[in-house]
Amino acid sequence: MSLLSWNERFSVGVPTIDKQHSGLFGIVNELHDAMLHGTAQSVTGALLDKLVKYTKKHFADEERMMAAAKFPGLAGHRAHHVELARQVEEFMARYKRNDAVLDIDLLRFLSNWLTGHIQKEDKEYGPCLIQHGIK
């Protein structure tokens, strides 16, 4: 059972970004599946690493595209990215010190942040990127 299901309401209209967002949904779903099936202990570290790396690449790609389109909200958007990256990296450090475990609260945070960020902040830049021919 998936925690997140990708559908068109999450589309920002930029195929590259939509594909990456769908990939982020997939990683969160992998974490969810591991928790449901009792394998979280053995795979969480690798999946969190994957999430951190994928997220950093996605944020860099997204910011590069916004800069190319001269999106006026880039600075604010970047601040949201920095904050999420900080929170995930903080959790990752705690996890590596055995001070944190994968639980429903983390999954809820990730899914709420991801869906909320896409539907609010990311939807704002979509028209600008489309107008500038960025795909």
Q: How do the pLDDT tens digits run along the chain, 135 residues long?
A: 688 999 999 999 999 999 999 999 999 999 888 888 877 677 777 888 888 899 899 999 999 999 999 999 999 999 999 998 888 888 878 877 887 776 777 888 889 888 998 999 999 999 999 999 998
Which amino acid is residue 129, in one-letter code?
A: L
Surface-to-core class of residue 55, CB atoms within 10 Å of its CB (0-12 exposed, 13-18 middle, 19+ buried): buried
Residue 20 · residue 61 · CB < 8 Å: yes
pTM (two decimals): 0.89
The structure tokens 């969190």 sit at: 48
Q: Report which residue type is found at 126.
A: G
Q: Which positions ≥6 away from 66 have C-beta within 8 Å?
A: 73, 74, 77, 125, 128, 129
Distance from C-alpha of 8 to C-alpha of 21, rounded to nearest angstrom? 11
Q: Please, where are the H alpha helices in 10-73?
A: 15-36, 40-68
Domains of the chain from N-terminus onward = 14-131 (1.20.120.50)
Residue 99: what pLDDT? 78
Query: Which pLDDT score, from 0 to 100, does residue 36 have?
Result: 84
The SS3 assignment for 1 reads coil
